[in-house]
Structure 1
């Protein structure tokens, strides 16, 4: 899983699974086929891979690897060269598949090229530096405003365009399926600088709304990481502390699954808390710092969850308006 730690003198047997943010301490070992989770890790009945790994045809595995290479060398590596050696030994099924891959890859390439055109902002900063001796910090401030006015709408457009201006839907598939390839293309184009801007300010929820997150009123976001933004729903008066992760997908053993995450009104995620896909947080519930909420958990209203994996710690009495007023 993500964020796992293996100490010296540890081992994982064939088919073993170690959950997210878990750790094997010195001398621990996972027997063949067992599933462990926690810090220190202990045996669990949870299965982190609902979709079993498949053995795809050689050509399909090759196509997937080719798409990965194109992601790394988007413009340098031309697509025809990658498939030339296979071209004469395949049938109609391959040509149909390669057509789909070519379309997706072309869209990705144009996305990278379009991002490169943001170099036009250098012209703004060139002017700002030229006028710095006359306008001093005012020239830099104006340059920041103009750059933001160009880049923020552009990156929002790129991310929404990567989804065809639609929203993500829950998926259960393998990494060799075209559906996952499209999702991975979205990841690459959605990893933009604006997702880290304005943490802890009222502008942060505004950015999230424009990126497709359903966000309520009076939300504080101190720097949360949302991997699938259109699969997340955040209610009113929610607090997202620094470093918390809201991950609406799982990727393990060649299997990919995604689902909604719903955070109710008045909920709180502590620093570095991790919420997995399929989680529903009831009104006023709280996830403590460094806690990991497993996929599919339903947190009752006004409950506090703590630990890795997170378990119900206790309930709290909600504070009503005027309860703190003295008689």
Structure 2
């Protein structure tokens, strides 16, 4: 817990936010410094420099994001993952009591546009969070599954027949051996 009156974390967080608000205006569009490197290997390196644990061959924010990662030092993203205009939120502020819990996206995970993970959320290997979905505090997206909704629920399992699962859920074989992402 990081209370506003006894922790410097909140001041550092405000400085991080100010850096993200710096804009270049031209051609009728304003761009932040991070928009200029969105989706490139430089974006992953930027977040590593800010304390995030990021695996190799990741594609971060190719469509931009607002806001970008708020607490990069508490975010872990595995190899070959894609985070596209999505939110990783590691904090909860309740009546001035600031609580932080890490967020983990394992390898081969995908967060689609406008999806969100709240504090303590975890995505296991090969999982996907679809557009406009919200993973609630402390929830786990199971390996090789696709989740959708607010709050997010599983809609498909990859590589696992429907034994013991809902009949409405789909099945698709999943093989990472030839994966390029």
Which bracket does the TM-score occupy, shorter chain normalised? 0.7 to 0.9
Aligned partners of 2:95, 2:146: CA distance in 1, in Å?
32
Aligned partners of 1:276, 1:297: CA distance in 2, in Å?
9
- Is 2:128 the partner of 1:300? no
Q: Which has the larger Rg?
A: 1
CA RMSD of aligned residues (A): 1.8
The one of 189, 197, 202 aligned to 2:41: 202
Aligned partners of 2:178, 2:13: CA distance in 1, in Å?
46
Aligned partners of 1:247, 1:309: CA distance in 2, in Å?
15
Equivalences for residues 38-53 of structure 1 within 5 A: none
> TM-score when scaled to structure 2?
0.75
Aligned length: 148
Q: Deviations over 1:104-126 (max 9, x none)?
A: xxxxxxxxxxxxxxxxxxxxxxx
Equivalences for residues 203-282 of structure 1 within 5 A: 203-221=42-60, 222=62, 223-224=64-65, 225-241=68-84, 243-282=85-124
Q: Deviations over 1:160-189 (max 9, x none)?
A: xxxxxxxxxxxx2544x412xx12201121
Give the 3-state SS of the residue equivalent to 1:226 in structure 2.
coil
Contact 1:197 1:204 in 2 (8 A): no
Give the 3-state SS of the residue equivalent to 2:47 in structure 1.
helix
The one of 171, 174, 178 aligned to 2:6: 178
Shift of 1:280: 1.4
- Is 2:155 the partner of 1:313? yes
The 1:264/1:297 distance shift into structure 2, 3 A limit, reads same
Aligned partners of 2:126, 2:94: CA distance in 1, in Å?
32
Structure with bigger RCO (C-alpha 8 Å, 6+ apart) = 2
The 1:322/1:273 distance shift into structure 2, 3 A limit, reads closer
> TM-score when scaled to structure 1?
0.43
Equivalences for residues 120-139 of structure 1 within 5 A: none
Unaligned runs of 5+ in 1: 1-171
Shift of 1:321: 2.4
Contact 1:262 1:279 in 2 (8 A): yes
Which structure features the higher share of helix residues? 1
Contact 2:2 2:9 in 1 (8 A): no
